[in-house]
Every structure is written in C-alpha cells, then in structure tokens.
Amino acid sequence: MDKKTTKKKFKPAYVINMTNCETVQDLRIEIALCKHNAGLAMTDSDLRAIVEYAVEAAIEQMSPSICICNCEVKVKKLPWYKRFWNKLKYAFTW
C-alpha cells in the first residue's frame, strides 16, 4: 500500500518586514501596519502605535514659525479741558 503524504501549505495572514526596524517602537508600528493592510482586527496598542507614528510624522513636517506681535498700548490722550483742569488742580494744591 502506498501511503500518500500531503504537505499542508501554511499561508500567513500577513508578513512583517523587520529589516528597517531599529527600535521596538518601529517594530510595533510595522506589526500594526501589516495587520491593517491585511484587514485584520487591531488591538488598542496597535492603533495607538499607528496614531503616535502619524502624529510624530506630522510634527516633523511642520515648519517652525515665529510669531512676532506688536503689543504696545497707546495711551489715549485726554481732551484739552480735562488736561487743563488737572493742571489747575495740581497747580493750586499745597
């Protein structure tokens, strides 16, 4: 009797490319992105890794801007009769 041997092929749901990963954070991001691209359910930590990656990329792309504002307050000049009255009031005070 010939016994037929069949090999089962293992087809992974996603493949992670770890050649560009330098830190643990890079690995978390790569795993999360591979799960997302494969259409699998992601955990909270996977989603958090993707959001942190997107926020860091957006912050790096922002150009630093300097805001210079003129905050001088101009003193409103009193009417002539009030200035005159103040001169008289201070002139006759002992």
Q: What are the pLDDT digits (tens) for 24-78?
A: 888 999 999 899 889 999 889 889 988 888 888 888 887 777 767 777 778 888 8
Report the domain count for the chain.
Answer: 1
Residue whose pair of structure tokens reads 């201070």 in the numeric block: 90
pLDDT at 71: 75
Structural domain boundaries enclosing 50: 14-62
Q: Is residue 48 part of a domain?
A: yes
Q: Is residue 40 part of a domain?
A: yes
Q: Is residue 86 part of a domain?
A: no
Q: How far apart are CA 49 and CA 23, in angstroms?
A: 13
Q: Is residue 89 part of a domain?
A: no
Q: Is residue 53 part of a domain?
A: yes
Q: Is residue 30 part of a domain?
A: yes
Average the pLDDT over each of 16-20, 72-76, 82-86 and give the range with the smallest value.
72-76
